[in-house]
Amino acid sequence: MVIIDADTCTVAQRKTQLDAARRSQGVPVRSPEEAVVLAIPKRNLETWFVYLSGEPWNEQADEWKRKKDDLAKRAANLVYHMCYHQQRLRQPAPPSLEDACGEWRRFG
């Protein structure tokens, strides 16, 4: 599993950068069958914490100063429940988290 913030890039741009880094190291770009998951929160991981805590979220805002690690365990449990058990996120959901849930479903 690769977790990297998108920061001010798009999720697609960050995936392209990761592919380029793999190629530059002689590592093939991941295949659809490869058990590699990319989780790329738009702006930063704390944006997902804000969403998961039920608060209004904004993928353009820099939330890293606002939320601390005390929300990480609860957020991880909620993502697991929503992405695996329910197979859906509460709407509206951050598009970057929707993308990550699709990535995590690669593991069945």
Instruction: Spell out a b/e string for 33-68, using b for 16 or more CB atoms within 10 Å of the CB, else e.
Output: eeeebbbbbbbbbbbbbbbbeeeebebeeebeeebe
- What value does the mean pLDDT take over residues 3-9? 92
Q: 19: closest CA among 36, 5, 7, 44?
A: 36
Cα-to-chain-centroid distance, residue 9? 13
How many C-beta neighbours within 10 Å does residue 77 have? 11
Cis upstream peptide for 41 (omega within 30°): no
> What confidence tens digit (pLDDT) does each residue in 10-69 have?
999 999 999 999 999 999 888 888 888 899 999 888 889 889 888 888 898 887 776 566
Q: Tell which residue, 4, 90, 86, has the closest CA to residue 41.
A: 4
- As for how many domains the chain has, the answer is 1
Q: Residue 68 belongs to what domain range?
A: 2-107
Q: What's residue 68's pLDDT? A: 64
